[in-house]
Chain A
Amino acid sequence: GNSVTQMEGPVTLSEEAFLTINCTYTATGYPSLFWYVQYPGEGLQLLLKATKADDKGSNKGFEATYRKETTSFHLEKGSVQVSDSAVYFCALYSGGGADGLTFGKGTHLIIQP
C-alpha cells in the first residue's frame, strides 16, 4: 500500500535559518505529491505540489522537488520566519482508483525570533 514518512518533530530553528523537512514515500505507479500546512486551530492549506518526476513545486518561498529515483519530496526554504511556525504534512495521491490522500504524520516547525 501507499505510505509517507516524514522526519519527526518538533523542528526548532532561529529566524532566517535554512529549513529542510524530509519526506519519502512508497506508492504504486506515479503519484502526485503535496505539501500541506496547518496553522494552529485551522484546517490544512495546500502549500505546493508536483505531479511528475523532476517537477519542482514552489510557493511563499518554499520549494520541493519530486525525486523519483530516491522517492523523496523534501521541503526547503532558504530563510524562515516566525510566521512559518506550523505543522507541515507531506502527502501523496496515487489515483487509479485509489481514494483520498495518504498523509505523513506531520512535522511541527517552531521558529524562534
Chain B
Amino acid sequence: EAGVVQSPRYKIIEKKQPVAFWCNPISGHNTLYWYLQNLGQGPELLIRYENEEAVDDSQLPKDRFSAERLKGVDSTLKIQPAELGDSAVYLCASSLQGGQTQYFGPGTRLLVL
C-alpha cells in the first residue's frame, strides 16, 4: 500500500514569492491534515479536512496561507507571499475517518531567503 505522497521534497524561494505544496493521502483515507514543523519542535496542526471540507483551520494564518482539497483526495497548501519565518517542514498526514492513527508523508522542507 502506497503511503502519503508529498511534493516537492525541498523548495527554496525568495521572500515575498508564492509557494505551493501538494499532498496525496493514502487511498481510502477521508481525513487529511497539514502540519507545520519548526526546527527542533514537534509538528503543529495547521488544518484538518474531512473529505473536501475544512473542519478546523483555526491555526492556519489566513492572511497568507490557504489550502484546498477540491475533490476530497489530493490537497494543496499555499503561501503567498512567503516570509523568512515560514522556513520549516510542512507535513501532510492522513487517516481513516474517525481514525486515531495518522500516517505522515515525508514532508516538504521550505527555505525562504
With an 8 Å Cβ cutoff, the count of chain B residues facing the other chain is 23
Extra pairs beyond A51-B100, A99-B48 (9, CB < 8 Å): A43-B91, A45-B104, A46-B103, A89-B42, A93-B100, A100-B45, A100-B48, A101-B43, A103-B44
Q: Which residues of B contact A46 (CB under 8 A)?
A: 101-103
A residues lining the B interface (CB < 8 Å): 4, 32, 34, 36, 42-46, 49, 51, 89, 91, 93, 95, 99-101, 103-106
27 contacts between A and B (CB under 8 A): A4-B42, A43-B4, A43-B91, A43-B104, A43-B105, A44-B43, A44-B93, A44-B104, A46-B102, A49-B100, A89-B42, A89-B43, A93-B100, A93-B102, A95-B100, A99-B48, A100-B33, A100-B48, A100-B56, A100-B102, A101-B45, A101-B102, A103-B43, A105-B40, A105-B41, A105-B42, A106-B41
CB–CB B45/A99 < 8 A: yes
A101 CA / B102 CA spacing, docked (Å): 8
A95 to B102 CA separation, bound complex (whole angstroms): 12
Chain B residues whose C-beta falls within 8 Å of the C-beta of A91 in the assembled complex = 42
